[in-house]
A and B are shown apart, each in its own frame.
Chain A
Amino acid sequence: MTLTVDETTPTGASSGDLLVVDDLRTHFRVPAGVVKAVDGVSLSIARGRTLGVVGESGSGKTVLSRSIMGLNVASNAVTTGSVRYDGEELVGRTPRQMRELWGSEMAMVFQDPMTSLNPVVKVGRQLTEHMRKHLGIGKAEARERAIELLKSVRIPEAEQRFDNYPHEMSGGMRQRVCIAIALACGPKMLFADEPTTALDVTVQHQILNLLAQQQRERHMTMILVTHDLGVVATRADEIAVMYAGKVVEKAPTELLFSEMRHPYTQALLWSIPKTSQPKHTRLSAILGRPPDLISPPPGCSFAPRCPYAQPQCTEVEPTLRSEGNELHQFACHIPVGTPENKAAFDRNLAAGMPQTLVAAGKMAAREDEPMTPGLTVPSEVDQNVIVRTAHLEQQQLAAEERAEAEGRSL
């Protein structure tokens, strides 16, 4: 029960929360305008828990974790709002002040183990550098601790590996070194930003197990950022789904999968191929692309791609709210599973809205999938819909392209 979040006051968080983020915004000034990469995110996470942050590229998930850690030091970045870590406000601190927290209180494991290590410095020195600084220990002791750490992240022949350069190691081994570096000064909070995206599935599995094991042993709190719902499904206690710089749905993991309320979460899950499906199962692609973060559309940013969108969705921006269970929050006017949602779907289907037809094709074709309760497709449209779906997907894309080109040329 970590995701107790209140939209207006950060006091809604319980005292067990290590991190409370309230209305965090990170905007980047660029020549074309202001990119609202993170736009009003509030969440909290209790000690020892794992929060999964899921989103596609451009959803703001990486900028969010960097903003919390104060790593967006570019001169065009502006971070506002509040990040309270262990009761202390972090927003507004200078990098020099933040440096005391980096490594010893919070640490990050980055996506690409190939580039996040310095290629011309031996891994041993990269491991001991900040240990000596933060923990004030001597060279010999740092070496001893570093070798212990390399062993704890399961690097074989740790003594020899201490004197290796990064290029002498495989990708999986380098990511283990990155984890060892992050753990070196005993942080309470670990950010893992797509830690396994660049790795093979078998190595990914091992690294995720390693992270979970280290988290338990060291009582760490973890934020696991990923684009892969499969990675967080079994690894996170809670999940926050991000879209266009905002959290659109957050819930304890099981609840999110069993009763997803936001159409984007549903669309994301439906677009993933699963090994449990028979071959050649037609995937339900999400039509269109994520919105422009410089001038996002009015209202709900997912509305242009949403099969349930109604006029109000493009006018009024939905805020996070809950129905029944307080832990389950979603930002949608017409959440999945309500009679209004079904009515909206039927209306859009009758009007021939492309994304609705695609979703209908999906529903008609796939009865095995857990889908919106009570939502059925009128049988007379089934066959036509499925046949037309493929064509519509392409038409829609071509139309978008045209619209975009016109917009550009203006």
Chain B
Amino acid sequence: MAGTGKAHLRTGDDTLLAVEDLVVEFPAGGGRKVHAVSGISFDIKAGETLGLVGESGCGKSTTGKALLQLPRPTSGSVRLKNDDLTTLDGEAMRRKRTDIQMIFQDPISSLNPRRTIGHVVAEPLQVWGPHGDDAQWQKVSEMLDAVGIDPDVARNKRPHEFSGGQCQRISIARALVMEPELIICDEPVSALDVSVQAQILNLLEDLKAKYGLTLVFIAHDLAVVKNISDRIAVMYLGKMCELSESDELYANPAHPYTKLLMESHPEPNPHAEIDESIVALGELPSPINPPSGCRFRTRCDRATDVCAAEEPQMRAVDAEHFVACHHPLVDVREVAIG
């Protein structure tokens, strides 16, 4: 993995977001750089949910933030409909951000503890309008209602009076008041209990249908990602390994890393087979000095010389399934579709 290439990009008018060769690097002192995201490309059609999955440090959250130009990517392009966000100046980007909203992992710390819920949710409107208390409250109460929070009860309360699941609902309402086209959900359910997690996942599906939203859903839990996503991109150390339609990905994982992730996922099934032999694998390599060629090769049991010498390119496994691996687990068509 650790691959590049754009065989998996689609053409068509209904593409809402197209990301090409996105690179995000951070200075690490001494002239060194952290290669957080190293040339990934993907596209999302309107109304689609793209899942980004990978271990911590794979660059999935950095990718999410780079879409919002927070911070601006080192290179590459992010096209939202007809605008390349990377070329917009500060003011134009500020205006454009109303179309993209974000929901964060920790619902409690992402709400200002000293503000009332009415204020927290209305704040985007104070900047962008409609202006006037009544008009704003109408909008805020509509959104609070949509996420299952009673607006009149919540209006003058503060975040500490709500549970984690309720705070996440409020965060979602805050994202919705701007009527965005794209919502980036960065691990929105990983801090929640399973019963609450199910409520939030169902809510996101309902809101997506109701408001015609497009979602980027970042998570490390494979079952959660599969449940909500139409397509899933698997990331490893700043590179994309595999991208596929969700059901197909789980039925036929082509990348050894995807398979490793799936085998590690604990299914609530006492008859599930577990590979007890894996007690220690290599640690994640440093993103300051990533391995040459395929970045996964240091932990891959199929790695050969070619993996160190040459970076694998995205190739089509199937019409909706692409993998960047020299030794994939399924047959790969030699000719890219497209």
B-binding residues in A (CB < 8 A): 56-57, 154, 156, 170-173, 200-206, 208-210, 212-213, 227-231, 233-234, 253-254, 256-258, 267-269, 271-286, 289, 390, 393-394, 397-398, 401-402, 405
Contact = CB atoms under 8 A, between A and B. Distances in A.
B198 A233 contact: no
A213 B274 CA distance: 13
Contacts of B280: 154, 156, 206, 210
Given A267-B195, A271-B194, A279 B266 contact: no
B133 interface: no
Given A275-B267, A401-B150, A56 B272 contact: no
Nearest to A59: B193
A171 B272 CA distance: 27
The majority secondary structure among interface residues of chain A is: helix
A32 to B, nearest CB: 14
B225 to A, nearest CB: 9
Interface of B: 55-56, 145, 147-150, 153-154, 163, 165-166, 193-199, 201-203, 205-206, 220-224, 226-230, 246-247, 250, 260-272, 274-281, 283-284
Contact of B227 (A208, A254, A269, A283): A283
Contact of B195 (A200, A208, A285): A285
B278 A275 contact: no
A170 B272 contact: no
A228 B247 CA distance: 23
18 contacts: A156-B280, A209-B274, A213-B279, A233-B266, A253-B270, A256-B270, A271-B195, A273-B198, A275-B265, A275-B267, A278-B247, A281-B227, A285-B196, A286-B195, A289-B196, A393-B148, A398-B149, A398-B150
B266 A286 contact: no
A273 B267 CA distance: 9
A88 to B, nearest CB: 33
A266 to B, nearest CB: 12
A202 B198 contact: no
A390 B206 contact: yes
Contact of B198 (A208, A278, A283): A283
A273 B264 contact: no
A268 B197 CA distance: 11
A234 B228 CA distance: 26
A285 B284 contact: no
A234 B278 contact: no
Contact of A57 (B193, B223, B267, B283): B193
Nearest to B209: A390
Contacts of A206: 278-281
Contact of A201 (B55, B205, B276): B55
A398 B152 CA distance: 10
A252 to B, nearest CB: 9
B279 A154 contact: yes
B46 to A, nearest CB: 17
Contacts of A289: 163, 165, 196
Nearest to A284: B198
A234 B272 contact: yes
Top 8 closest pairs, chain A to chain B, by CB: A230-B266, A154-B280, A205-B264, A286-B195, A394-B148, A285-B198, A283-B198, A273-B227
Contact of A280 (B55, B196, B228, B267): B228
Contacts of A229: 194, 268
A393 B200 CA distance: 11
B268 A201 contact: no
A200 B220 contact: yes
A228 B190 CA distance: 12
A201 B190 CA distance: 13
B35 to A, nearest CB: 18
Given A228-B194, A397-B199, A401-B153, 17 more contacts: A227-B194, A229-B194, A233-B266, A233-B267, A233-B272, A234-B270, A254-B271, A257-B268, A271-B195, A274-B269, A275-B226, A277-B226, A283-B201, A289-B163, A394-B147, A394-B148, A401-B154
A24 to B, nearest CB: 23
Contacts of B226: 273, 275, 277, 279
Contacts of A257: 268-270
A283 B221 CA distance: 15
Nearest to A214: B279
Contacts of B203: 394
A209 B279 contact: yes
B194 A201 contact: no
A57 B271 CA distance: 26
A393 B149 CA distance: 11
Contacts of B283: 170, 172-173
Nearest to B210: A390
A56 B195 contact: yes
A274 to B, nearest CB: 6
A57 B165 CA distance: 12
A402 B223 contact: no
Residue of A254, A256, A278 with highest tally of chain B CB at under 10 A: A278
